[in-house]
Structure 1
Amino acid sequence: MLTEHEIQSVLIANLNALMRKEGVSQSEIARRASIEKQTVSSWMRGVSFPSAKNIQSIVDAFGITTDDLLSLENGLASKERFASSEIMKPSYSYHVVPMLGNVAAGEWREVYEQHGEEVTIPDEFAESHPRAFGVKPAGSSMDLVFRDDEIAICDPDMEVRDGSVALVGVNGDEATIKRVFFAGNTIVLHAESTMADEYPDIAINTKDPASPPVHLIGEIFWKTLPAKPIKF
């Protein structure tokens, strides 16, 4: 049975999947479901949990099921991960981007370019994300978003938005992948893990001289699987 923290993380992951699926923001979810924006924001930050009435309001507003929001196995986030792993039709229309070293999903770890290593993404991203690169999440603090074998694609030219998944540099060359929230001068790095108790939010006050320097490297806009050699 999931703990309260794990249930909260599942809800957050499913709500984020809903936003990606529908192309909407937290504010739009609140508007369509007739819920206060601050209420939805508090769910996403793990401060509170929606009532049964509010869950039903979102279900009705978007034509989804309760499981889509609350289930780990059958929720929208799980369906999204399953869809990304389905076998795609062969295509020669792709774009090659460089790979950087492993990025900690549970700890902060140095990120460095893996010379000679590359990953392919859909050709449609070549023009809109010309400086994109791949990074390999490590650890389990983002395992509700990335499977062990998935590669995150980051665009350093994209502004990191509130509630987005991003590559964040901390203490110079160290970096981590987390969902990012902004609260005044504070940047909150939020994990989305099946082991939520092990990964509390990391709050960094950008105005506090004692806080580690933070650099929002770029937003994660895509994920893919590594290419596998074909044997004949």
Structure 2
Amino acid sequence: MTIADNIKKLRKQYDLSQKELAEIAHVTDKAVSSWEKGNSEPRMGAIQRMADHFGILKSSIIEENGMDNLINIHNHQPLPPGTVATKSASMKVPIYGYISAGIPFEMISTDNYKEVPAPIAKDYPNAFLLQIEGDSMNKLFPSGTYALIDPCLEVNNGEIAAVNVNGYEATLKRFFKLSNGIALEPESYNPEHSVQFFDCRKGECEDIRVLGKLVWHMAPFNIRY
């Protein structure tokens, strides 16, 4: 079974039209038609979006007979023969705005929603999405990535968190609470980014608030692999 066969089988098992699958993969319905005819193959970004949406491994789409041996990515167990998740495999999560992966800046409310895999949304029912802008975390997340933030989880030293600075600005960094202050550490290929330190002895920690812990992320649909 080729990639073309896998995509066709996946679409039919979900009872989706080519247009509906195209919306999930962020491509045109003509592209899906071309995939199923074997005239072209999807880019890795489109494969990743389909796998994320349906809660399956990319190999289920790429490998020969992949659809015959479906593995659920959330518990790594085989799915029942002949079945995949239903259309409710995704759930809408609110997007609260943008967050800097560089210099902290004001979050902007967008009043929008984005679909994430249902098991993820159910595991973190109070979580919200922030879209990353900037390059200070680009070793891990390209600009445009959606970061799922859970405000109910404790953030331990060294974990990645969304942090509110100066009451209205926000940034995504590795968080460290030290004896004399708070450090926000980047993960960047850009040498201009360095650790930001806030000295509590000087009152610099008073306006810093942890918004939540990063629990999941999704790359932007237009990223090229």
- Match among 134, 142, 148 for residue 139 of structure 1: 134
* 1:176 correspondence with 2:208: no
Q: What do you get for the CA RMSD once the two structures are aligned? A: 2.4
| 1:88 partner amino acid | M
* 1:102 correspondence with 2:98: yes
Provide the secondary structure at the position in 1 that maps to 2:129: strand
Query: Could you say which structure has the larger radius of gyration?
Result: 2
Show the 5 A alignment for 1:72-221: 86-89=48-51, 91=54, 92=87, 93-115=89-111, 117-195=112-190, 197-211=191-205, 213-221=207-215
| 1:127 partner amino acid | K
| 1:106 partner amino acid | G
Q: CA 1:183–1:192 in structure 2 vs 1: closer, same or farther (change >3 Å)?
A: same
Please report the TM-score for the alignment, with normalisation by the length of structure 1.
Answer: 0.56
Partner of 2:13: none
| 1:97 partner amino acid | V
Is the contact between residue 98 and residue 132 of structure 2 (CA under 8 Å) also seen in structure 1? yes
Q: How far apart are 1:130 and its partner, in Å? A: 1.2
Is the contact between residue 119 and residue 227 of structure 1 (CA under 8 Å) also seen in structure 2? no
CA deviations 1:139-184 (Å, max 9, x no partner) are 1111111112321111111111111111000000111001112222
Give unmatched runs, 5+ long, in structure 2: 1-43, 55-86
Q: How far apart are 1:111 and its partner, in Å? A: 1.1
Give unmatched runs, 5+ long, in structure 1: 1-81
Q: How far apart are 1:185 and its partner, in Å? A: 3.4
Is the contact between residue 98 and residue 133 of structure 1 (CA under 8 Å) also seen in structure 2? yes
Q: 2:46, 2:179 → 1: CA distance?
A: 35
Number of equivalent positions:
145
Q: 1:84, 1:120 → 2: CA distance?
A: 15
CA deviations 1:46-86 (Å, max 9, x no partner) are xxxxxxxxxxxxxxxxxxxxxxxxxxxxxxxxxxxx89973
**Greater CA deviation, 173-182 or 122-131?**
122-131
Q: How far apart are 1:209 and its partner, in Å? A: 2.0
Q: How far apart are 1:125 and its partner, in Å? A: 2.6
Q: 2:47, 2:132 → 1: CA distance?
A: 16
Provide the secondary structure at the position in 1 that maps to 2:153: coil
Q: How far apart are 1:208 and its partner, in Å? A: 2.6
| 1:144 partner amino acid | K
Q: 2:165, 2:153 → 1: CA distance?
A: 18
Runs ≥4 residues deviating over 6 A? 82-85
Q: CA 1:83–1:189 in structure 2 vs 1: closer, same or farther (change >3 Å)?
A: farther
Q: 2:100, 2:158 → 1: CA distance?
A: 19
Is the contact between residue 101 and residue 133 of structure 2 (CA under 8 Å) also seen in structure 1? yes
Provide the secondary structure at the position in 1 that maps to 2:110: strand
CA deviations 1:31-53 (Å, max 9, x no partner) are xxxxxxxxxxxxxxxxxxxxxxx
Is the contact between residue 167 and residue 217 of structure 1 (CA under 8 Å) also seen in structure 2? yes
Q: Identity percentage over the alignment?
A: 29
Q: 1:130, 1:173 → 2: CA distance?
A: 24
Provide the secondary structure at the position in 2 that maps to 1:113: coil
Q: How far apart are 1:192 and its partner, in Å? A: 0.6
**Greater CA deviation, 125-134 or 212-221?**
125-134
Q: How far apart are 1:128 and its partner, in Å? A: 2.7
Q: 1:220, 1:130 → 2: CA distance?
A: 14
